[in-house]
Structure 1
């Protein structure tokens, strides 16, 4: 079989989970000696397709055909979540199952002899007897690729291989891909980074809602905006822009050349009073780490931070005292005491952390304050209701109530409408607007790009721990923001 021939052809794949179709007639064609990128939004069906191709999940309908040459080695998958054992050696990780034996004992020489050429091809210069935990994350990633290659596959799936790698390691991976395709291996490269598609892949397939929106297009025939359009299904009309009054004077949030080892590098931005600023990026891009710095939950190694005019918060309690409110994405784990009443949750920070209302305020006074907040938030539930018995949307309103009670100068929101219905989402957005109108500086992260365009005045885009630019004004649309986040383009602007 010559290079460029089909190694795998999947057709008309259908897979449902609980009545929801994860795949609906999807397919893909992988050729030897090519990197074929697979992209799509979260929930598009990428993971389901990979599981079907690797044989871990059976399709409800459709076919997967492997070339005879490819059947011998099967399909090797290197997952985003490394399946290695950090307490074992590199050698032991390379041979987790059925290692070579001699006289019933592990044959380490045979193991090293077989692994040596593969490690050399990958540029992985490590001692096989070294502990895996001593290796960098990039070398651990290459170790997992080496383990897959020891099976001599002709089809290799790399699932988000660079999501946690530094730029230098990504450059190294490019050389690895050249080596693999030079051996006639068909590589399926699953990624969120569209700049990597344009850099590494010869072909690209886009999934949207379980369907193939773009099938095996050659890289030179498409650009990043076209890929984003295929992923999103067109360009929605721009949202109606708000007119906010931004206060003069020192901004409540200032980060200047802030670094956190392995997470942030020279991050600089400000948020002014009365402004809603979004932060966006792919997983591990650093935008959530920036929020943690503002909230006093992460220690910086360099740079300057000033929050609420009181310098760098040294802890979450210190941030609260500087006027910071933090609404987390995981309300059940970090935001609420589910077994307590609404009034106990709503007053927990303002009373216990800030001491407002005196050392021992009356329960009646705390309940009265809670009633005022819940009325403002239109919460369906009374002060004496147990929070754990409320709906998810009303629980999220209780989290908001808890922080509104502190009268914050800075509001940090991490996916504030996650898991709530459309009606509650609209109310949350109304509250955010009221906070900004009242003079608060608002920082918002969301996994929903549409939410960022609806609520924010501008959005900072993070890529690999850096702010690469911002999107604002008429340019702040879901499509433009997706292009910025996916491509990592540094020259962003507004209109």
Structure 2
């Protein structure tokens, strides 16, 4: 493991920590069973620097943060603070806010051991302590304001203020911008400059690589619990370098699907579509027989595009045409136009888990489309789905209750429900989430068969590798706009990740 500047001759301060370093971790190992979440990880955080920590989900970022903050003991390795940093220690601001919206700003800032006078809360002392910290972050709420009345961005900054009131030497910000609009991100970046000017070391955990290039002084990348890029200076790396460190090399794409001939009819067409706060002038088309992916970082707008196609979200401007019937006004309207929608959360939105396979698999065709006659028997309905369940290789009989099936077979039931409608347009939102490799492969086979049968398939996935496996091309969304398209031999996991991240960020 290397680190730029470790062997630069800086004298140690007597604690084995080089001057300027506030925290030094070396050789950290943490195993869960036979899996090493951290495998010899090291990192150095310096005073007055923002050190970005990036990596895919499961790379070890959260485990490292827990070890650094003292909430998790490593199996091996060392963790040292500089002498001047010991008093302040580490403060962590997590991605999920740990605030109390029904309490005041003042009460949220001092949740533990607030100042007291004569046994009573000393609100004056609390406000005097909080005022300069809030001002430093550009906040000026009335102390008695209920926190839940503040915008999300100000709630996020309030949590940072609470951490700063502890006077930490090291501040960990874990995905601080994942739910913030662009203006709030700009504001936070200004706050980072203020804090580093005070000599605080900031560990900035994020998956927005464009953000890293704007705010970080150094960056460390984890992959599979190991450091693949250690403390690199921001000016020495680019987004493609970071993607390579996160994913490994960029293997060539396997033999791509043969796409439908150019000029085929558009089964889905959006032109200049706007959804306030979510989509801005989005245009796209999906032809019959084509599998088109939509991708982007969280909140980029690709999810909203799916909702428009399914009639779940209204538009403020632009033209929408789905299956030649204009814009669906509701999900029921979309279903009648020939749209199938497989949601990402099958248990909440895709299944009646306490009902049988046949009840789930016939629900849309029977109830929404009125197929099967007026009073079909259970046996007739169960028999009507045999071809579909056989096609999906479903392990379960028509009378089995869904909640007794495996997760993969439950997902197959969701697919069965929509295949039974003979859809013209298929919208898939994370279609293989939470299933094993075998089921994933079968789902991909079905997606290919749907396209080969003439359906237009629109798919989003949190797994870039999935998009490269099933799609003819992928549209990249950033801040509510389509900013690019990746297809052909360029459609690799590496190429797609670079395209998403090149202009990414909230």
TM-score (norm 1): 0.94
Indicate the SS of the match to 2:28.
Answer: strand
- Shifted more, 326-335 versus 48-57: the winner is 326-335
| CA apart distance, 1:479 | 0.3
Provide Cα deviations, 1:77-134, integer angstroms capped at 9, x if missing partner.
1111111111222222111112222222222222222112112211223322222222
Q: Which residue of 2 aligns with 1:426?
A: 441
What does 1:34-113 correspond to in 2, within 5 Å? 34-113=49-128
Residues 463 and 488 in structure 1, CA contact (< 8 A), matched pair in contact too: yes
Q: Which residue of 2 aligns with 1:309?
A: 324
Equivalent residues in 2 for 1:224-303, closer than 5 Å: 224-246=239-261, 251-303=266-318
CA deviation after TM superposition for structure 1 residue 4, in Å = 6.9
Contact preservation (8 Å) 2:54, 2:205: yes
Q: Which residue of 2 aligns with 1:475?
A: 490
Q: From 453, 477, 481, give the equivalent of 1:466.
A: 481
Q: 2:204 corresponds to which residue? A: 189
Structure 2 CA distance for partners of 1:149 and 1:191, relative to 1, 3 Å: same
Q: Deviation digits for residues 360-412 of structure 1, max 9, x if unmatched?
A: 22333322221111122222333233333333222222211110111111111
1:290 deviates by 2.0
CA contact (8 A) 1:90 1:130 kept: yes
- The Cα of 1:232 is off from its aligned counterpart by 0.6
Counterpart CA distance in 2 for 1:309 and 1:149 is 57
- TM-score by length of structure 2 reads 0.92
Q: Distance in 1 between matches of 2:203 and 2:492?
A: 31
2:460 corresponds to which of 419, 435, 445? 445
Which residue of the partner structure matches residue 36 of structure 2?
21
- The verdict on how the C-alpha distance between 1:156 and 1:439 changes in structure 2, with shifts beyond 3 A counting, is same
Verify the 8 A CA contact 1:4 1:33 in the aligned structure 2.
Answer: no
Gaps of 5+ in 1: 491-495
Distance change in 2, residues 1:419/1:100 (3 Å):
same
Instruction: Name 2:7's counterpart in structure 1.
Output: none
Mark the CA change 1:134 to 1:389 in structure 2 (over 3 Å): closer, same or farther.
closer
Give, in angstroms, the shift of residue 249 of structure 1: 6.2
Contact 2:289 2:451 in 1 (8 A): yes
Question: Alpha-carbon deviation of 1:211?
Answer: 0.6
Give me the whole-angstrom Cα distance separating, in 1, the residues matched to 2:179 and 2:335: 31
Give the secondary structure class of the aligned counterpart of 2:38. Answer: strand
| Worse-superposed segment, 251-260 or 316-325 | 251-260
Which residue of structure 1 aligns with residue 190 of structure 2? 175
Distance 2:327 2:454 in 1: 21
Corresponding residue number in structure 1 for 2:383: 368
* In structure 1, C-alpha distance between the alignment counterparts of 2:161 and 2:57, rounded to whole Å: 28
Aligned to 1:133: 148
Match of 2:46 in 1: 31
Match of 1:206 in 2: 221
Query: 2:408 aligns to what?
Result: 393
